[in-house]
Homo-oligomer: A and B are copies of this chain.
Amino acid sequence: MRKSNQKDLILDIINHSTNHYTAYEIYERCQIVLPNISLGTVYRNLNKMVMNNEIERIKTTEGYDRYDNKIKAHHHFICDKCQKIEDVFEPIVLNLNDYDNEVTSYSIMFHGICKDCKRKEENYGTKRK
Protein backbone atom coordinates (compact mmCIF):
# COMPACT_ATOMS: atom_id res chain seq x y z
CA MET A 1 0.00 0.00 0.00
CA ARG A 2 1.53 3.23 -1.18
CA LYS A 3 1.60 6.33 1.03
CA SER A 4 -0.90 9.08 0.32
CA ASN A 5 -2.05 12.17 2.19
CA GLN A 6 -5.65 11.06 1.83
CA LYS A 7 -5.03 7.69 3.44
CA ASP A 8 -2.98 9.20 6.28
CA LEU A 9 -5.68 11.77 6.99
CA ILE A 10 -8.47 9.19 7.07
CA LEU A 11 -6.55 6.94 9.43
CA ASP A 12 -5.69 9.93 11.61
CA ILE A 13 -9.33 10.94 11.93
CA ILE A 14 -10.34 7.44 12.93
CA ASN A 15 -7.49 7.00 15.38
CA HIS A 16 -8.01 10.36 17.10
CA SER A 17 -11.71 9.97 17.73
CA THR A 18 -13.73 8.29 20.44
CA ASN A 19 -16.77 8.27 18.16
CA HIS A 20 -17.49 5.76 15.44
CA TYR A 21 -17.85 7.69 12.24
CA THR A 22 -19.63 6.73 9.04
CA ALA A 23 -17.79 6.99 5.72
CA TYR A 24 -19.59 10.24 5.01
CA GLU A 25 -18.74 11.74 8.38
CA ILE A 26 -15.09 10.90 7.76
CA TYR A 27 -15.41 12.47 4.31
CA GLU A 28 -16.77 15.70 5.84
CA ARG A 29 -13.90 15.87 8.33
CA CYS A 30 -11.37 15.20 5.57
CA GLN A 31 -12.71 18.14 3.57
CA ILE A 32 -11.53 20.58 6.24
CA VAL A 33 -7.93 19.61 5.43
CA LEU A 34 -8.27 18.44 1.82
CA PRO A 35 -11.24 20.27 0.28
CA ASN A 36 -11.06 18.32 -2.98
CA ILE A 37 -11.01 14.85 -1.51
CA SER A 38 -13.53 12.51 -3.10
CA LEU A 39 -16.06 10.36 -1.27
CA GLY A 40 -14.97 7.43 -3.41
CA THR A 41 -11.43 7.87 -2.16
CA VAL A 42 -12.66 7.66 1.42
CA TYR A 43 -14.55 4.45 0.69
CA ARG A 44 -11.63 2.90 -1.22
CA ASN A 45 -9.17 3.63 1.57
CA LEU A 46 -11.57 2.46 4.28
CA ASN A 47 -11.99 -0.86 2.49
CA LYS A 48 -8.27 -1.26 2.06
CA MET A 49 -7.55 -0.47 5.68
CA VAL A 50 -10.20 -2.91 6.87
CA MET A 51 -8.64 -5.66 4.75
CA ASN A 52 -5.24 -4.57 6.03
CA ASN A 53 -6.49 -4.87 9.63
CA GLU A 54 -5.64 -1.25 10.36
CA ILE A 55 -9.23 -0.36 11.25
CA GLU A 56 -12.45 -2.20 12.02
CA ARG A 57 -15.80 -2.03 10.26
CA ILE A 58 -18.86 -2.03 12.49
CA LYS A 59 -22.04 -3.25 10.81
CA THR A 60 -24.98 -1.37 12.31
CA THR A 61 -28.72 -1.68 11.87
CA GLU A 62 -28.88 1.97 10.82
CA GLY A 63 -28.25 1.15 7.18
CA TYR A 64 -24.65 2.29 6.92
CA ASP A 65 -21.36 1.10 8.36
CA ARG A 66 -19.22 2.78 10.97
CA TYR A 67 -15.48 2.55 11.47
CA ASP A 68 -13.35 2.14 14.56
CA ASN A 69 -9.67 2.14 15.32
CA LYS A 70 -7.77 -0.95 16.40
CA ILE A 71 -5.55 0.69 18.99
CA LYS A 72 -7.12 -1.47 21.69
CA ALA A 73 -8.88 -4.75 21.07
CA HIS A 74 -12.38 -4.18 22.36
CA HIS A 75 -16.03 -4.97 22.01
CA HIS A 76 -19.04 -2.74 21.48
CA PHE A 77 -22.17 -1.69 23.31
CA ILE A 78 -25.04 -0.29 21.26
CA CYS A 79 -27.93 1.53 22.86
CA ASP A 80 -31.19 0.28 21.39
CA LYS A 81 -32.84 3.64 22.12
CA CYS A 82 -30.41 6.26 20.79
CA GLN A 83 -28.20 3.96 18.65
CA LYS A 84 -25.05 5.29 20.28
CA ILE A 85 -22.11 2.90 20.05
CA GLU A 86 -19.66 2.75 22.93
CA ASP A 87 -16.45 0.82 23.27
CA VAL A 88 -16.29 -1.91 25.89
CA PHE A 89 -12.75 -2.12 27.15
CA GLU A 90 -13.35 -4.77 29.82
CA PRO A 91 -11.20 -7.74 28.85
CA ILE A 92 -13.40 -10.72 28.12
CA VAL A 93 -11.95 -14.17 27.74
CA LEU A 94 -13.90 -17.00 26.20
CA ASN A 95 -12.88 -20.58 26.00
CA LEU A 96 -14.46 -22.48 23.18
CA ASN A 97 -13.07 -25.98 23.52
CA ASP A 98 -13.94 -28.84 21.22
CA TYR A 99 -15.20 -26.51 18.51
CA ASP A 100 -14.44 -27.90 15.08
CA ASN A 101 -13.78 -24.64 13.24
CA GLU A 102 -10.62 -22.60 13.66
CA VAL A 103 -11.55 -19.39 15.46
CA THR A 104 -9.11 -16.55 14.84
CA SER A 105 -11.07 -13.71 16.46
CA TYR A 106 -14.40 -12.77 17.89
CA SER A 107 -16.32 -9.64 18.62
CA ILE A 108 -19.13 -9.17 21.05
CA MET A 109 -21.98 -6.76 20.46
CA PHE A 110 -23.78 -5.87 23.67
CA HIS A 111 -27.30 -4.49 23.41
CA GLY A 112 -29.20 -2.56 26.02
CA ILE A 113 -30.05 0.92 27.21
CA CYS A 114 -27.27 3.39 27.91
CA LYS A 115 -27.16 5.30 31.17
CA ASP A 116 -28.20 8.58 29.47
CA CYS A 117 -31.37 7.08 28.01
CA LYS A 118 -32.01 5.32 31.32
CA ARG A 119 -31.82 8.61 33.21
CA LYS A 120 -34.13 10.33 30.72
CA GLU A 121 -36.69 7.55 31.13
CA GLU A 122 -36.59 7.87 34.91
CA ASN A 123 -36.89 11.68 34.88
CA TYR A 124 -39.81 11.46 32.50
CA GLY A 125 -41.53 9.00 34.84
CA THR A 126 -41.22 11.18 37.94
CA LYS A 127 -42.30 14.35 36.16
CA ARG A 128 -45.49 12.75 34.94
CA LYS A 129 -46.55 11.25 38.26
Q: Residues on A close to B: CB < 8 A?
A: 57, 59-61, 77, 79-80, 86, 88, 90, 92, 94, 96, 99-115, 118
Query: In the complex the two chains form, is A104's CB within 8 Å of B94's CB?
Result: no
Q: Which of A86, A101, A109, A115 has the most CB of B within 10 A?
A: A101
Query: In the complex the two chains form, is A107's CB within 8 Å of B109's CB?
Result: yes
Kindly provide the distance from the CB of A118 to the nearest chain B CB, expressed in whole angstroms.
6
Kindly provide the distance from the CB of A117 to the nearest chain B CB, expressed in whole angstroms.
9
Task: Give complex CA distance A101, B86 in Å.
Answer: 10
Query: In the complex the two chains form, is A60's CB within 8 Å of B61's CB?
Result: no
Residue of B whose beta carbon sits closest to that of A97: B90
| Residues in B whose Cβ lies below 8 Å from that of A103 | 77, 110-112
6 extra A-B contacts, CB within 8 A, seeds A59-B61, A102-B115, A103-B112: A92-B94, A102-B114, A103-B110, A105-B110, A107-B108, A107-B109
Query: In the complex the two chains form, is A113's CB within 8 Å of B107's CB?
Result: no
- Which of B90, B105, B107 meets A99, CB within 8 Å? B90
Kindly provide the distance from the CB of A98 to the nearest chain B CB, expressed in whole angstroms.
8
Query: In the complex the two chains form, is A102's CB within 8 Å of B112's CB?
Result: yes
